[in-house]
Amino acid sequence: MSRNMVNRKANIQGFEMNYYTAGDSGPVVVLVHGAGVDSAMLSWREVIPLLAQHYRVYAPDMPGYGLTGYKEGVEYTNTFYTQVLRDFIHELQLDRPVVIGLSMGGGIVLEFALTYPNHLQALGLINSNGILDRWEYHAFTYHFYVNTPLNTLSYKWMAKNRMFARSIVVSGLFYDPQNVTEGLMDEVQEAARIPNAGRAFAIWQKSEYLGKQGLRSDFRSRMPDITVPTFIVHGTEDRTVPVAHAHKAHELIPGSELFLVEEARHWPHKEKPDEVVGIVHGYLMKTLKNLS
């Protein structure tokens, strides 16, 4: 079975949307990356070839990320990205795929499962957005980052200053600094140098942060309505979405399964790809067999 990744394009909502695909047979899995300095390849580089041993894998660069361009005048909200995901699946004629989202991507696939429950057969959340009402240090983040020049300046600093970029990865994304390789830092800084890097993220953040009201994409009240099999993977040391929120989501989503990755922060799939893919494959083998 081929595990070679192929880079392709699809016209989605006026965007020439870049995506990667791998795998010759098996159920379809769609992977949705996170926000900030991220992209399909940065999120899923290690995961795609492992999953492609058993599945047909698709990983799009969402608008404003990776090799999919940024456009002025677009409201880059969670609902916008949910509709992009819907149209991507329809355009490629992917029949009820498994959809898995990381961080912002988790919020996107959560909304997708709630809005289009007949368009997927299983849902995966990895250190997901959408499962909490406010970020850690919410008021500080809202007033001193999201609505200030720091939001865009941080990308310029990250692109130019390796030490600053590394501090972001070590403090928030990886648990063990020894796992932060020079190759990874090359990828992170390259992502920060992409034209218009961070602009879609800034718009998304402003749409999400509602000040004292919390976060727009807080799906906790709707989680009992999720009807598809759902698994949750979460790093136990995540500082962005503390693990307590994953436990609560597990309680709220009927029949869901929770898998904790020890000594991992917000990117468990990058720091421990074999473990995370093993969790995903084990869950899907059991679940998809029961659905067939």
The residues spanned by each domain of the chain are 6-136+216-291
Report the C-alpha gap between 102 and 31 in whole angstroms. 8
- 44-58, 120-134, 211-225: lowest mean pLDDT where? 211-225
The b/e string for 66-99 (b: 16+ C-beta within 10 A; e otherwise) is bbbbbeeebebbbebbbbbbbbbbeebebeebbb
Average pLDDT, the chain: 92
CATH class, domain 6-136+216-291, is alpha beta
How many angstroms from the chain centroid is the CA of residue 290?
Answer: 26
Report the C-alpha gap between 22 and 271 in whole angstroms. 21
Model confidence at 135: pLDDT above 80: no
Report the C-alpha gap between 181 and 95 in whole angstroms. 38
- 50-54, 191-195, 229-233: lowest mean pLDDT where? 191-195
Model confidence at 138: pLDDT above 50: no
Model confidence at 107: pLDDT above 90: yes
Residues 6+ apart with CB under 8 A from 50: 273, 274, 277
Model confidence at 208: pLDDT above 50: yes
Per residue in 166-200, pLDDT tens? 998 999 999 999 999 999 999 999 999 999 988 99
Take residue 76 and report the two structure tokens written for it: 């880059």
Model confidence at 56: pLDDT above 90: yes
| Whole-structure pTM value | 0.94
**Look-up: residue for tokens 């030490």?**
163
Take residue 28 and report the two structure tokens written for it: 């379809």
